[in-house]
Amino acid sequence: MARIPGTGGRRSRYDHPVSPETSSGLVLQEPGPSKKLRSRHVTMITLGGIIGASLFVGSANIIKSVGPAATLSYLIGGLLVFLAMRMLGEMAAARPAVGSFMEYARVGLGNWAAYIVGWLYWYFWVGVIAYEAVVGGGMLNAWFPALPAWAGSLILLAIFVTTNLISLRSFGETEFWLASIKVVAIVVFLVVGALFAFGLWPNATISIDNLWVNDGFMPNGFGVVISSVALVLFSYFGTEIAVMAAAESENPAKGIRQAAHTVIWRVMLFYVGAVLVIVTIVPWDELPSPDVIAPFSYVFDLFGVPGAETIMSIVIFTAVISVLNSGTYSASRMFAALAEQRLAPRAVAKRSKRGVPVLAVIASTIGGLVATVVNFLAPSSGIYEFIMNSTGLVALFVYVFIAVTQWRLRSRMTQEEKDALTLKVWLFPWLNVLVILGAIGIVGIMLTTEGGRTQVLTSFIAAGALVLFWPIVRRNLKAAGIRDGDAADPALAGAPAAAEAGPLRAAAEVDEEEQRAAGRAEHQ
């Protein structure tokens, strides 16, 4: 075992990244290499979880509000997400874990942090499952009027719970092909759009000046550019799926580095590039409302593509069910990770021979099913709207927890451990401060609008409900002898796998070793 010079013989754990199972101190049924996710799956899973109706449809609302400067709103939002991803990547490259930021919050801040952020994240994706099921059911009803919208929603839920239950590879392969359709559509949109904007497409004229005519690049001022970042940020939420999926891939370390380095750039290219194409081709104040026609459909129609609206309707439907598929994966993995740390019912952590947390998948889908059924049976009750609104701040909660956790863990490392990191956050800790202040600023901006205030209030109500149950969970952890930072299974504390539990726990172990040494010296 390698030793770190000048640290009293302490182990260097940076050369021994652990599996998701040993990182949480558990021995689980681990799928063989042939059943794990491949690099192409990890990439498309990330894109699939992000590129949805928020881009294909929702981007029109931001453009109509901000003007051509909407590209800046997407760029600023993407920058904040990129920094958070870099911080998460630093921690994950050293210690791959399916629970991702929840696991790091547990080690760095304590069980309370893991409990709050893990359950909020699960709650967010349950809301996403319900939302995408409702939207997908509505689209099926529009195409097949004989099929009720509620029936279409239930059919979609059944399909994707089955896909996730079959195997990890089954989920990955399904998401790969669903996300590929979206990616191909966006790439075609970007290429043809660039040709169209420069007048190189048949029957097109140069339209670059749409960026500054019609009251200029920022027709409504810089303030609305910043205020729109709050909406943009939630469109990007889901990039962290890459780190969760990479932990279940054939090469976790490589997958995590790739996700932190490249995935966010691809996402920003798609979002910023697509919005830039739209505002370049169409005067921002002439873009139709998305309730009339989706912006992508409208622009494809300008390209002269036959059946543009039908084609984009299919692409949008693909985007909806893709997010439903990846949302089921994300919710179930976080639920299982919570159970592994005894922050949720223990049985939920059990995995099948194919590595699937069966109960976690079923429970997460049931959560989405309940919200979906409520929407159809009691649409005026306000319950569905509360669920949708109360997930509004989860993205900001997660990014703040990531920034604070990475700050705490980096501060506890020795210089040798810092030098051994394979992926580092630049300008530490100033970028952490930037992300935290950015999140606080966005909340402040949200409070200036009625819709934003509703999201802030309902999100804090949901978080407050979790806080009320924390004393019960803490008492159960204490009864099991689990302290902050400890793995949920103390019986494995002395096992070789647990001994290699990764660099993120090194600082805490160093403190304990020094205390024991001091005690022995005093006794002698």
pLDDT at 78: 86
Write out the H or E segment, with its range, that includes residue 222.
helix 222-227
Is the distance from CB of 54 to CB of 232 less than 8 angstroms? no
CATH architecture classification, 31-415+425-516: Up-down Bundle (1.20)
Q: How many helices (H) and strands (E) does the chain have?
A: 24, 0
What phi and psi values does residue 201 have, to the nearest 5 degrees? -105, 145
pLDDT in tens, 376-435: 988 887 888 888 788 778 888 889 999 999 999 999 888 888 888 888 888 999 999 999
Q: Cα 163–169–173 angle (5° rounding)?
A: 75
Decide: residue 334, CB within 10 A, 0-12 exposed, 13-18 middle, 19+ buried: buried
Position 23 scores a pLDDT of 35
CA distance 337 to 357: 10
State how far the Cα of 112 lies from the Cα of 105, in Å rounded to an integer: 9
Is 35 or 411 the better-scoring residue by pLDDT?
411
3-state secondary structure of 422: coil
Amino acid at site 60:
A
User: How many CA atoms are closer than 13 Å to the CA of 217, on its beta-carbon side?
Assistant: 8
pLDDT on residue 131? 87
| Residue range 207-228, pLDDT digits in tens | 898 999 888 899 988 888 888 8
Q: CB burial class (10 A; 0-12, 13-18, 19+) of residue 427?
A: exposed
Core vs surface per residue 296-306: b (16+ CB within 10 A) or e:
bbbbbbbbeee
**pLDDT recorded at residue 159:** 94
Q: Which amino acid is at 49?
A: G
Per-domain boundaries in the chain: 31-415+425-516
pLDDT in tens, 493-504: 333 333 333 444
Task: Write down the pLDDT at residue 365.
Answer: 93
- Where does the pLDDT of residue 49 fall: very low under 50, low under 70, confident under 90, or very high at 90 and above? low
Give 51-54 contacts, CB < 8 A, sequence gap 24+. 51/179, 51/182, 51/183, 51/186, 51/267, 51/270, 51/319, 51/322, 52/132, 52/319, 52/320, 52/322, 52/323, 53/135, 53/316, 53/319, 53/320, 53/323, 54/234, 54/235
* pLDDT of 510: 39
| pLDDT surpassing 70 at residue 278 | yes
Q: What is the mean pLDDT of the chain?
A: 80
Using alpha carbons, select from 35, 102, 27, 125 the residue that is nearest to residue 355: 35
**pLDDT band per the 50, 70, 90 thresholds, residue 449:** confident
**Is the pLDDT assigned to residue 323 strictly greater than 90?**
no
Q: What is the pLDDT of residue 260?
A: 67
- CB–CB of 168/356 below 8 Å? yes
| pLDDT at residue 480 tops 90 | no
Residue-by-residue DSSP string for 94-110: HS--TTTHHHHHHHHT-
pLDDT in tens, 235-253: 787 777 777 777 777 777 6
Write the burial class of residue 454 (CB in 10 Å: 0-12 exposed, 13-18 middle, 19+ buried).
Answer: middle
CA angle 156, 161, 164 (to 5 degrees): 125
Report pLDDT for 152. Answer: 94
Which CA distances in Å does 6 have to 9, 163, 417? 7, 51, 12
Is the pLDDT assigned to residue 21 strictly greater than 70? Answer: no
Rounded CA-CA distance 220/199 in Å is 28
- Answer for the pair 360, 348: CB distance below 8 angstroms, yes or no: yes
The neighbouring-strand residues paired with 198 are 206
